[in-house]
Amino acid sequence: MRFEADTLSVNRGLRRVVQDVSFSLGEGEVLTVTGANGAGKSTLLRALCGLLPLAAGRLRLAGLGEGEDDPLIFREHLHYLGPQNAMKAALSIRENLAFWRDFSGGSDGLEIEQALRAVELPHVADLPFSYLSTGMRRRVAICRLLVSKKPVWIVDEPTSGLDRSASELFAGLCRAHCADGGILVAATHLPLGLGKAQTLAMETLFTVFEGDAFFDGEEA
Amino acid sequence: MAALLGRELRVALKAGSGALMGVLFFLAVVTVFPFAIGPDLNQLGRLGPAILWIGALLASLLGLDRLFALDREDGSLDVLVLEAHPLMATVIAKCLAHWLVSGLPLILATPLFGVMLNVPPLGIAAVMATLAAGTPAITFIGAAAAATAAALPRGGLLVAVLTLPLTIPVLIFGITATNGALFDPDPFTAPFLILLALTLFSAVLGPLAAALMLRHSAE
Amino acid sequence: MNQDTQTLSPAPSWWMRLANPTRFMTFADRVIPWLAGLAAIVAAVGLWLGFSAPEDYQQGATVLIMFLHVPAAWLAMMCYSVMSLSALGTLVWRHPLADVSLRAAAPIGAAFTLLALVTGSLWGKPMWGTWWVWDARLTSVLVLLIIYLGLIALARAIEDPVQAAKPLAIMTLVGFINIPIIKFSVDWWNTLHQPASVSRFARPAMDAAFLYPLLVMALAYTLFFFTLHIMNMRNEILARRIRVLKLRQAGR
């Protein structure tokens, strides 16, 4: 399985935020996306998940067979960890994680207890999510990637709110994911301590569509 | 989908206020009417079905804007959209859950409010039947507007403004069927069947539009 | 997406050629004076025909309002059809100007709808002795006005016009599919409640003396609509170019 991008461009409204990004990741490989605030890291990651339309370029999850060219189809094989935690504050940790496990239909991931132990929070399963501190919430959000198994992780600022040891913990989980043949795309300011990572440094673009090309966000 | 339905219901019941707030608003609307038109029981009995319907219509619009906005705020919406399920099924499950916690309590509260408005028992039964047939349509139509407004500040008002004109047919046939049950020459079955048809139609159109909207505007 | 444009480009029909905003601007500049002039001439002819029409035996001189009122109501509906076509253009054919066209048409449609309501009300006063009756037609048009205003509110609520395009197109189509249903239900509601007062309104066949001025006025309104529509599209394109310049300035 390979995750490939060929000269991707992404627009937000009238602005081009990502221009001509290409990469090719094989099993066990990591891409770290770096860049200043507003450089388009989040936009790129959302586009990789098919959450934003591509203005140009191609995205491929090779080895999937039918639909490998269409982000709207292959995105079900991605785990996306966005800036928010995607957990309901009123529900308990167990309910939250069980929901995501059932909803993504995966039963081949870790048990909820195991996953919580992996992020060193074995004692919180039955507490409401809202009782946790920021760092603990983030760690629970990371658990979502563990309870159902998917080959590609796309994580946006995964360690925001995490202290040094928790970041180390996450880096360890990522290494385990890659050792298992997984692919990882991470946008982060902090070094994750991952070996043999490709790096994509993004720069802030101020390209606005010229004259005739700006209307649909497509090149005319 | 069962998982989603369960989660939505649990969230609504845990956060508590959601369902009860709708009923409370319903009660407030019903209470305000006699002050506006006078406490004459005969008149209230005549206008009762209409008052109940308007109250239920407004109350079911109340929570609609949060249908997707909350999921968007905590980031769940992205993950929901990402998963393998047809987006339309996800939307329908969310609508169903929303109706169960906000529409159904309104119907269950109708007998009490109906008695207060001096609506005869047959009328109350008719209002309950038409509400049960009609309020899902309001949720489904509103879902499209809610999906549009999920990302917007002051989205709630916009949802109401976009949804209300589209729910006029539901209101018309709901009231007509109720009056048909109460007053002899008017028919009940025909408008009631049209009401059901409207609901089924909305159950397709609304989620379809909402899914399209969520797919395109997950920015 | 890019492939779409590439497959389309080998056969540039005038339709796709206009997709280029610069070309559209030249086209608009050339066409607007002609359309506007033609609209004025046809309107003058229509009004002259209308004023020379005989007085209606029932309605007297007030029948003249019809020549302003009925075409406005027709145009209110036509404009929504134009918007729905534009919405399809955005969603299905990805025509770059479709979204501009939709946005430009909405306020014009709302204006024609309002005009239909106001003239209808002015007509209603001598006819029914009241400014407003909950007659099926008036009520449907009122609902149409609310839908127009809702769409305009939606368009203005999303700051970036390009990001607003798809939500706006989808809501426009939802409205389009619902309008016949609303019309049908309002008619149903009306037959249940309406006293006979309006029935004399429904005349079996319109006399040719009224029909011709009406048709000419409808043509004038249509020409006027397209003049306004193209002018407003031009404004919208200019507004977007200004936006681009400002964004570029922000980036410097």
CB B216 within 8 A of CB B147: no
Residues of A in contact with C5 (CB under 8 A): 218-220
The domains of chain A, with CATH numbers, are 2-212 (3.40.50.300)
Residue C146 has pLDDT above 90, yes or no: yes
CB B146 within 8 A of CB B64: yes
> Which chains contact B through at least 3 pairs of Cβ atoms less than 8 Å apart?
A, C
Mind listing the pLDDT tens digit for each residue in A128-162? 888 889 889 999 999 988 888 888 999 998 888 88
> C191 at the A interface (CB within 8 A)?
no
Lowest-confidence segment of B214-218, C143-147, C215-219, C245-249 by average pLDDT: B214-218
CB A29 within 8 A of CB A194: no
Measured CA to CA in angstroms, residue C72 lies from A62, C54, C172, C203 at distances of 57, 22, 20, 20
Binary contact (C160, A212; C-beta < 8 A): no
Binary contact (B84, A76; C-beta < 8 A): yes
Query: What secondary structure does DSSP assign to B100-168, as a single string?
Result: IIIIHHHHHHHHHHHHHTT--HHHHHHHHHHHHHHHHHHHHHHHHHHHHHTTSTTHHHHHHHHHGGGGH
Residue type, C62: T
C-alpha span between C19 and C17 (Å, rounded): 5
Give the confidence band of C6 by pLDDT, cuts at 50, 70, 90. very low
C-alpha span between C88 and A35 (Å, rounded): 39
| Three-state DSSP string of chain C | CHHHHHHHCCCCCHHHHCCCHHHHHHHHHHHHHHHHHHHHHHHHHHHHHHHHCCCECCCEHHHHHHHHHHHHHHHHHHHHHHHHHHHHHHHHHCCCCHHHHHHHHHHHHHHHHHHHHHHHHHHHHHHHCCCCCCCHHHHHHHHHHHHHHHHHHHHHHCCCHHHHHHHHHHHHHHHHHHHHHHHHHHHHHHHHHCCHHHHHHCCCCCCHHHHHHHHHHHHHHHHHHHHHHHHHHHHHHHHHHHHHHHHHHHHC
Cβ atoms within 10 Å, residue B173: 28
Give the confidence band of C84 by pLDDT, cuts at 50, 70, 90. very high
Give the pLDDT of residue C139.
86
3-state secondary structure of A181: coil
Give the pLDDT of residue A27.
87
C-alpha span between B101 and B9 (Å, rounded): 7
C-alpha span between A180 and B128 (Å, rounded): 57
Mean pLDDT value across residues C74-102? 89
3-state secondary structure of A210: coil
Mean pLDDT value across residues A31-41? 84
Q: What percentage of residues in chain B have a pLDDT greater than 90?
A: 47
Q: Minimal Cα–Cα distance from B202 to chain C, Å? A: 9
> A90 at the B interface (CB within 8 A)?
yes
CB A156 within 8 A of CB A45: yes
Give the pLDDT of residue C17.
62
CA neighbor of A19 nearest in space, from A159, A189, A206:
A206
- Strand partners for A30: A184, A197
Give the confidence band of B85 by pLDDT, cuts at 50, 70, 90. confident
Q: Which residues contact B89 (CB under 8 A, 6 or more apart)?
A: B1
Indicate the burial class of A216 (C-beta count within 10 angstroms; 0-12, 13-18, 19 or more). Answer: buried
Q: Which residue of A has its CA nearest to C101?
A: A215
Q: Which residue of A has its CA nearest to C95?
A: A216
Give the confidence band of A217 by pLDDT, cuts at 50, 70, 90. very low
Considering only CB atoms, B148 lies closest to which of C154, C177, C188, namely C154
C-alpha span between A108 and A110 (Å, rounded): 7
Residues of B in contact with C186 (CB under 8 A): 168, 172
Give the residue with greater pLDDT, B95 vs B12. Answer: B95
Instruction: Name the phi and psi angles at A79, rounded to 5.
Output: -105, 125
> Which DSSP symbol is given to B99?
I
Mind listing the pLDDT tens digit for each residue in A64-76? 777 788 887 888 8
Residue C222 has pLDDT above 80, yes or no: yes
Top-confidence range, A161-175, B195-209, C161-175: B195-209
Binary contact (B76, A102; C-beta < 8 A): no
> A104 at the B interface (CB within 8 A)?
yes
Mean pLDDT value across residues B210-214? 89
C-alpha span between B14 and B4 (Å, rounded): 15
Q: Minimal Cα–Cα distance from C140 to chain B, Å? A: 10
Give the pLDDT of residue C16.
62
Residues 161-180 of A with CB under 8 A from B: none
Residue C58 has pLDDT above 70, yes or no: no
Give the confidence band of C75 by pLDDT, cuts at 50, 70, 90. very high
> A91 at the B interface (CB within 8 A)?
yes
CB A29 within 8 A of CB A196: yes
Q: What angle do CA B2, B164, B90 make, to 5 degrees?
A: 15
Considering only CB atoms, B78 lies closest to which of A12, A80, A105, namely A80
Binary contact (B83, A102; C-beta < 8 A): no
Radius of gyration of chain C (CA): 21
What the block records as the tokens of C183 is 């019309």
Give the residue with greater pLDDT, B173 vs C196. Answer: B173
Binary contact (B83, A104; C-beta < 8 A): yes
Give the pLDDT of residue C194.
55
Which H/E stretch holds residue A142? helix A134-147
Give the pLDDT of residue A218.
38
> Which chains contact C through at least 3 pairs of Cβ atoms less than 8 Å apart?
A, B
3-state secondary structure of A78: strand
Output the CA torsion sign for C43, C140, B102, B37: positive
Give the confidence band of C113 by pLDDT, cuts at 50, 70, 90. very high
Q: Which residue of B has its CA nearest to C157?
A: B152
Mean pLDDT value across residues B96-104? 90
- Strand partners for A35: A202
Mind listing the pLDDT tens digit for each residue in C16-39? 666 677 788 888 889 999 999 999
CA neighbor of A208 nearest in space, from B183, C247, B7:
C247
C-alpha span between C51 and C31 (Å, rounded): 30
Q: Which residue of C has its CA nearest to A9?
A: C2
What the block records as the tokens of C17 is 């050629």
Give the confidence band of C125 by pLDDT, cuts at 50, 70, 90. confident
Give the pLDDT of residue C94.
78
Residues 149-188 of B with CB under 8 A from C: 149, 152, 154-155, 158, 161-162, 164-166, 168-169, 172-173, 176, 186
Q: Which residues contact B121 (CB under 8 A, 6 or more apart)?
A: none
Residue type, B36: A
CA neighbor of C123 nearest in space, from C51, C67, C200, C47:
C67
Query: Mean pLDDT for chain C?
Result: 81
Binary contact (C182, B169; C-beta < 8 A): yes
- The C-alpha torsion from A143 through A144 and A146 to A147, rounded to 10°, is 110
